Amino acid sequence: MTLEDVRNQFTDPTPADLQLIARYGELPDDARRARAFEAFAKSGLPNRRMEQWKWTDFRAGASSLETSSGKANVELPLPDNALLLRFDGKRWHLPEKLPTGLNVFEKTEAQALGNAEELPMAALAAGLTGHPKSIDILQVEVTASIEQPVFLDFDFAGREMAFARIAFVVRPQARIDVIEQHRGGAGLSSTIIEFGLQKGAQASRTLLQAGGKEEATAVTAAISLEENARFKQTALGFGAKVARIETRVSYNGPNATASLNAAYLPAPGYHVDFTSNVWHGAESCTTRQLTKGAVPDGGRGVFQGKFHVPRTVGQHTDADMQHKALLLEDGAEVFAKPELEIYADDVECAHGNTSGQLDETALFYMRQRGIPKAEARALLTEAFIVEALATAHDAVKDALNEASRNFLRREG
C-alpha cells in the first residue's frame, strides 16, 4: 500500500492526521504495522462522534501537533534500587546491568499480547512504532521474582509527537513490579504497555500521569492473565488538555485476580479519562475496581468502566466496580459510564457510582475545631482520594499522596 493509499483511507484528515501520515511514511514497510495504521485510519484521531470517545475528543484536543511548553510540576522520586527504563520521546534507554531473571529485548516489531491494538489510539501507537533507527519497542521477559521495581520514565519534552511500546512477559510464578511516570511534553503521544501474566505470575503497576495543558496523550494497557495470575494496578492521573488512561484486562485462565484502582485530579483546563474494560473469559476470576476523582471548577474527569462476563466461561465471577467523584466547586465536570454486561448466571457482580460535594457537616465540624476552611476542604478531599492510592507500590506511595495533597492545597 502506498502512502497515497494510506492517505486516502482518511475521509477528512485534519492537519494532525496529515502529520501522522507523514510520520508513517518515514517508516519501512511492515505488514503488521500497516494493519495497525489502517485500523487507525478508519477513524483518524478519535472524536466525540464515537461512542467510546464522546467525552474525550482527541481530534479537537490535537488539532495540530506542536511541542508542549507547559510541563507538569509533579515528579516521582526514583526509588534507590529501581531499574530505570527511560523513554525520551524517541527511544528507550536501558540500565547497564539487569538482575538475573529479567531479560530486555529491543524490538523493531512487537508481538501483541492483548487486544490493545483494537483501540484507535493504541492502533496509532502500534502503527507508528518500530522505527529501525531508534528503539521504541521493548519486550521484557521476567523469569523470576524481581525485587527491584522497574521504573518506566516517559519524558517527551521537546517532541511534537511521541509513540512508545513496551511489553512484559511474566513467566509462570514470576513476579514484577512496574512504576510508570508519564510526564508528557509532546503535543500528541500514545503509549502501549502490555502484560502477559502466565500461570501463577504476578505483576503490579503503579502509574503517575501528569501532562501539560497543551497536549493530548493516551496510555493504553492490555493485561492478559492465565490461571492463578494476579495483577494490581494503581493510577493517579492529573490529565492534560486531553488525557486517556485506558486499561483492558482479559482473564484467560481460572482463579486469576486483578485490582484496578485510580484517582483523578484534573486542574482547571485539564481533562483526564480513565476507561477500562475487563473481560471475564475464564471461571472464578475476581476483579476489584475503585476509581475516585476530585474536580475543581474548570476541571474535567471521565470514568468509563465495563465488566463483560460471558455466559459459557464466566461462571463464578466475583467483580466489583466503584466510582466516586467529588465536585469541589461549581463548574467541575465529571462524566461516568459504569457498565456491567453479564451473561453468566452464577456470579457476584456489583457496581456503585456516586458524585457529590464535600460533606458540609464535616466541614463545619473541622472548622469548629479551628481548621481553616481551605485546609478542612483539602484534608477531607485528601482522605477521600487516599483510599484509591492505598494499593500503590510502597516506594512511591508517599510521593503519590504528596502529589495529591499538593494539588488539593493549591486548589483549596
Partner 1 sequence: MTLYIRGMLKLDDLSARVGEGDEAKTILNGLSLEVPAGEVHAIMGPNGAGKSTLSYVLTGREGYEASAGSAMLEGEDLLAMEPEERAAKGVFLSFQYPVEIPGVPVMTFVRAAMNAQRKARGEDEISAPDFIKKAREVGAKLKIDADMLKRPVNVGFSGGEKKRLEIFQMMMIEPRFAILDETDSGLDIDALKTVADGVNALRSPDRAMLVITHYQRLLDHIRPDKVHVLAKGRIIKTGGPELAEQLESEGYDGILGEVL
Q: Which is nearer to partner 1, 94 or 386 (CB)?
A: 386
Write each residue from 194 to 233 as x if it is in contact with partner 1 (CB under 8 A), else as -, in one continuous string.
Answer: ----------------------------------------
Instruction: Select from 59-67, 218-226, 367-375, 400-408 the region that touches partner 1 (CB under 8 A).
Output: 367-375
Among 147, 341, 348, 359, binds partner 1 (CB under 8 A): 359
Size of the site for partner 1 (CB under 8 A): 23
Instruction: Select from 14-22, 169-177, 231-239, 384-392 the region that touches partner 1 (CB under 8 A).
Output: 384-392
Instruction: Select from 6-14, 175-183, 313-321, 353-361 the region that touches partner 1 (CB under 8 A).
Output: 353-361
Amino acid at site 33: R
Residue linked to cell 476530585: 294
Write each residue from 93 to 132 as x if it is in contact with partner 1 (CB under 8 A), else as -, in one continuous string.
Answer: ----------------------------------------
Residue 84 touching partner 1 (CB under 8 A): no
Residue 383 touching partner 1 (CB under 8 A): yes
**Residue in 286, 154, 289, 183 with CA at minimum distance from that of residue 234:** 289
The Cα–Cα gap between 272 and 57 comes to: 11
Residue 340 touching partner 1 (CB under 8 A): no
Cα-based angle 339, 344, 349 (whole degrees, multiple of 5): 45
- With a CB cutoff of 8 Å and minimum separation 6, the contacts of 402 are none
Characterize 302-322 residue by residue with b for buried, 16 or more Cβ atoms within 10 angstroms of its Cβ, and e for exposed: bbbbbbbbbeebbbbbebbbb
Question: Residue 344 CB, nearest distance to partner 1 (Å)?
Answer: 34
Q: Which is nearer to partner 1, 219 or 366 (CB)?
A: 366
HSE, side-chain direction, 13 A CA sphere, residue 258: 33
Among 109, 375, 402, 412, binds partner 1 (CB under 8 A): 375
Q: Label residue 251 left, alpha or beta by phi (over 0 means left) and psi (-120 to 50 means alpha).
A: beta
Residue 28 touching partner 1 (CB under 8 A): no
User: Is residue 305 within 8 Å of residue 321, measured between CB atoms?
Assistant: yes
Sign of the C-alpha dihedral computed for residues 47, 48, 50 and 55 taken in this order: positive
The percent of the chain in helix, strand and coil, each rounded to the nearest 5, is 25, 40, 40
Residue 372 touching partner 1 (CB under 8 A): yes
Residue linked to cell 488539532: 63
Question: Residue 371 CB, nearest distance to partner 1 (Å)?
Answer: 5
Instruction: Select from 78-86, 278-286, 331-339, 369-377 the region that touches partner 1 (CB under 8 A).
Output: 369-377
Question: Residue 283 CB, nearest distance to partner 1 (Å)?
Answer: 35
Residue 387 touching partner 1 (CB under 8 A): yes
**Residue in 267, 217, 248, 279 with CA at minimum distance from that of residue 46:** 217
The footprint of partner 1 (CB under 8 A) covers: 359-362, 364-373, 375-376, 379-380, 382-384, 386-387
